[in-house]
Each structure stands twice: as C-alpha cells, then as structure tokens.
Amino acid sequence: MQFVKTGEAKIPALGFGMFRMSEAEVEAVAPAALETGFRHFDTAQIYQNEAALGRALKVAGARRGDLFLTTKVWVSNYSAERFMASVDESLEKLGVDQVDLLLAHWPGDAVPVERQIEWLNEAQAAGRTRFIGVSNYNRSQLRAAISASAAPIVTNQIEMHPYLDQSAMAELARETGTALTAYYAMADGAVPGDALIREIAARHGKTAAQVGLRWLIQQGVVVLSKTAKPTRLAENFDIFDFTLTAADMAAIGGLARPEGRIVNPAGLAPAWEA
C-alpha cells in the first residue's frame, strides 16, 4: 500500500468508501475489504452506517492501530451545542475512542467556515480525532480554513474523476501542502465504460476501473474506491503493480469537460470557481 503524507499525517492512498451503502452491505463487504488489504475506511454521519462499520471491523478482528478511520460531521450538527456531541455519537457507533480523520462534510450556506474550523480544532484538542480536514470546500474556503485553523487541514475531500478538471484545486493543494481525497472516482459508472480508458487499460492488462483509480493515485491523490460486491474488491485493490505513461495520463485528463461535475447539491455546495 502507498501512503500520502501531509504534515504528520500518513494516509493510505487507497481507501474504501461507504457512501450509499446499507448497513447490511457494509457488514458484508467491510470484513472482505479488510482481508483484501484495505485499512483506510471512510464513512460519515449522514451515511447512517457508522455503527455497521464499527460492528463489521470488530467482528473481523481488526486491530485499531492498523486502521485509518475517517468520518464526517453533517451540516445539521454545525452548532456549538451539536458539533462535539455528534462526534461523540460517531465514536460510540464506530466503537472507538478516536478517529484518525474528522472532516466537515460540506461548507453549506448557513455557518461560516471559520466556525466549522473552530469546532474541528476543538474536537482534535479534546482527543476525538488525530487529524482534521474538510470536504467539498472551494479554493477560497480552503484558504480561509487553513488560515483560521490552529492545526493543519490535512485534506480536502472532493469529487475527482477524468471528466472534471480539478487542476486549479490541485495547484492550491500543492501550494498549501494539503492532500486531496477523491470521491466519485468512477464518475457514477462512466469510467469503466469509457472507450479511451478501456483502450489504455487493455494495453496494461488491466480494467478501465483500475486505470481510473491509478490515474488519480499517480497524481498523489488519496482515492476512495467503493463496491458492495466482495468479488470486486481484489480488482479495486490491484492497482499498485503498473504505471500509466505520461501520454496515458494526459489522454485521460483530456476527457475533462465543462459539464463534468456530478455532485452539486443546493444549499450545501459552494460556488465552485471561487
């Protein structure tokens, strides 16, 4: 397994994401993911499967020190009364005293970034998390978060795949020493069926899904893979034994298009170009 290092954080470059997975699916696939080699597991309060992940890892006999656990605070808990209490609820569901990474899930349009960061700092200072970060922040919000935070903002978790140009965010991440974490790497199923990516994959003896994940890994990005099918786990994990050429990387990057963004919920998402 490769790692992405940012400050004192050492994040497994390939993680397993729990978005849109039922508790039954999580309990079925998480032990198999652990057996495959996954150690980085990403969930969130709004996914409503933190407890299922905690149970699954416990049943599988996972050693806490071997895991990198991420969860996210939902926007309805962005208040002085609810933020820390909601984190404690997440820890109880996960069956741990501390997560490795705690994120503000969306910036939203109701609570200033500076307040969100203040509460994240308080959670870290209280020992609820080793590291803090954000998710779905635009560039100006990421700058504001870094400026407001007493602790490093180790990552910004964002939508990343070949059809969405995130080069400006990647440039800011390099400038500030912030890791990017990619979700929706398969672009809601478009990547595995893409003719160009399938052609590149065939030359490497890999699948299009593997090439899509590898394309992000080679950019130094933390990538969240996802499947509810244990039979697909080995495919998702087997991406560290080949290297895409510079021409491959450029060709895949050339698939970006203006309408490439998939996730853009009103009231949660920022003005992305800010």
Binding-site annotation: residue ranges for substrate: 105
241/78 Cα distance (integer angstroms): 42
Is residue 183 within 8 A of residue 159, CB to CB? The reply is yes
Q: Which residue has the tokens 């969405």?
A: 164
**Local structure of residue 188 (DSSP, 8 states):** G
Binding-site positions = 105
Q: What is the DSSP string of 206-272?
A: --HHHHHHHHHHTTT-EEEE--S-GGGHHHHH--SS----HHHHHHHHTT--TT------TTTS--T
Least Cα distance to 121 among 144, 148, 159 occurs for 148
Count of beta carbons in the 10 Å neighbourhood of residue 199: 13
Least Cα distance to 34 among 63, 4, 3 occurs for 63
Q: Which residues have a catalytic role annotated?
A: 47
